[in-house]
């Protein structure tokens, strides 16, 4: 039961941080640690399970998913909830090597 999946940071954008996409979608975006593909999954965990950690609402348990490109399993953790452009900018500063939120 101790088999660990590779982990990668995920972003769950809501509200003002998600204006560039369908507001009906509730997805977690991530980059596959196996093949480097950008991917996303439907967010499954309740927002109440997110807790403030290091200035962000985060799900520190994360979600296990399968990459659509290489079919390998990974754990998306932590999942960081971003509500607006300000939080998005802060996320980019803290997780600068993740390249998850590309500015336009």
For the bound state, the minimum distance from the C-beta of residue 72 to Zn ion, rounded and expressed in Å, comes to 6
**Which lies closer to Zn ion via its Cβ, residue 70 or residue 90?**
70
Stretch that binds Zn ion, among 8-16, 49-57, 65-73, 81-89 (CB under 5 A): 65-73
How far is Cα 32 from Cα 34, in angstroms, rounded to an integer?
Answer: 5
**Angle in degrees, CA 80, 29, 56, rounded to 5:** 10
| φ, ψ (nearest 5 deg) of residue 44 | -110, -25
Stretch that binds Zn ion, among 21-29, 40-48, 59-67, 92-100 (CB under 5 A): 59-67
**Which lies closer to Zn ion via its Cβ, residue 70 or residue 75?**
70
Kindly tell me which residue out of 28, 32, 77, 81 binds Zn ion, with binding defined by CB under 5 A: 32
Report in angstroms the alpha-carbon separations of 26 from 4, 5, 34, 85: 26, 23, 24, 17
Kindly tell me which residue out of 6, 35, 49, 64 binds Zn ion, with binding defined by CB under 5 A: 35
By CB under 5 A, name the binding residues for Zn ion: 32, 34-35, 37, 67, 69-70
């Amino acid at each position: 039961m101790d088999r660990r999946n590779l982990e990668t940071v995920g972003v769950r954008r809501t509200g003002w941080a998600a204006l560039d996409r369908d507001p009906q979608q509730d997805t977690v975006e991530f980059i596959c640690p196996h093949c480097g593909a950008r991917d996303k999954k439907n967010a499954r965990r309740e927002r109440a399970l997110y807790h403030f950690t290091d200035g962000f609402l985060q799900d520190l348990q994360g979600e296990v998913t399968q990459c659509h490109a290489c079919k390998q399993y990974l754990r998306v953790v932590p999942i960081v909830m971003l509500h607006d452009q300000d939080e998005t900018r802060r996320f980019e500063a803290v997780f600068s090597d993740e390249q998850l939120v590309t500015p336009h």
